[in-house]
Chain A
Amino acid sequence: ETGVTQTPRHLVMGMTNKKSLKCEQHLGHNAMYWYKQSAKKPLELMFVYSLEERVENNSVPSRFSPECPNSSHLFLHLHTLQPEDSALYLCASSQDTPDTQYFGPGTRLTVL
């Protein structure tokens, strides 16, 4: 495996629910990323954290709220999502630069 774990692997939620996605990296990296992967679309970068500070927010709606409590953990808090938010959410990590990123297996999210 890549050294990046994500939980849960699958999540089904209603539009009024609040849930959180968790990512943990065991590689000693100092940068972490959230991506959204929808069918027939390129990977969309959502957020970038470097040294636990957010350095990129790619025009993501406020119903997605990231949190990076330390360099090994990254969360994505979800609330009042829409059905079009259903997708595979991928976490990645890298060291110093965004060049070689290592991905987790993703969380398959379905919003009903």
Chain B
Amino acid sequence: DAGVIQSPRHEVTEMGQEVTLRCKPISGHNSLFWYRQTMMRGLELLIYFNNNVPIDDSGMPEDRFSAKMPNASFSTLKIQPSEPRDSAVYFCASSQRLGLDTIYFGEGSWLTVV
């Protein structure tokens, strides 16, 4: 089975531009998570969905960040406008059952904002 698929793998953008990160969870998984990894803060949970519904977005840093999950096989994380401090690796992850199963990670999207 295919794992969690993220795109793009790498993106370099200028400050102020809109960035959209995409994720396809593992088929049959109904929970989806967005994490961010930086040197300073380590791995942080930004938001998670269960059955396409956002459950907890308290980790989203500010209004510039938004996430959607229009269907069971697709999610986006959008940053508008982007800032240099948003530079990080963004991971999408999924699990079969919320709270009860292993979380599997995608390969990450490495974002650099200049």
A and B co-occur in one complex = no
